[in-house]
Amino acid sequence: NKGSSKSPGNSGTVVRYNLSQNDGTNSLGKQVEWKKRIGELFHVAGPVEGAEIYNNLFYLPAGKDIPIYFSDWGGWPREIRIRNNVFYVEQGAKLSFWTDQEKIKNTLWEANCYFGEFEKLPQDPRGIALDPLLADPGKGATGFDSLAGYMLKPGSPLIGKGLVLPEHGGRDFWGNQLG
């Protein structure tokens, strides 16, 4: 939707096991209102309730200055859970978190990994601010095999640190069985 009508909202959306590389420019190339940035890594708008965003990896290359944005569109998002994600920001890029924290109710950031430069980092008491030791990030191309650079290297500080989530889908991004 290009924002031409009020959102009726949604409930219980699950976003999991995605790999986002170089995202952040919308299809119109439209300038957004905050600091003349283009696009956003993701945008949760309107009366979204109970969404789960987990076990994803978001990669930003050098030169990007991209926000994650929560906004009002006929109601504010609430009870959003953002857990077990990796936010990997290359040197020379920046990821910002834009929202009115008072208006998004009960949003939980938990056990995410934040590597690189961030602005307005959300409160995440179980968050990890270390290099996740990815094999060779930023090299994804066409085809699943090109994504091997996003696998964790042995000795990664993330191994064994994620939350065990109910109804996790049974397998991870790579097809490995989850316990």
What mean pLDDT comes out for the span 120-124?
86
The angle at the Cα of 115, spanning 111 to 116, to the nearest 5 degrees, equals 145
pLDDT at 124 over 80: yes
What mean pLDDT comes out for the span 131-140?
94
CA gap 60, 90 in Å, rounded = 6
Question: Mean pLDDT in the chain?
Answer: 82
For residue 169, the one-letter residue type is: G
- Higher per-residue pLDDT: 174 or 3: 174
In the block, residue with structure tokens 């602005």: 119
Mapped onto helix, strand or coil, the DSSP state of residue 21 is strand
Mapped onto helix, strand or coil, the DSSP state of residue 147 is helix
Global pTM reads 0.86
Of the pLDDT bands very low, low, confident and very high (cuts 50, 70, 90), residue 44 is confident
Residue by residue, DSSP assigns 101-122 as TTTSBT-EEES-EEES-EESPP
Of the pLDDT bands very low, low, confident and very high (cuts 50, 70, 90), residue 4 is low
What mean pLDDT comes out for the span 111-116?
94
β-pairing verdict for 81-83 and 52-54: parallel
Of the pLDDT bands very low, low, confident and very high (cuts 50, 70, 90), residue 142 is confident
What mean pLDDT comes out for the span 37-49?
77
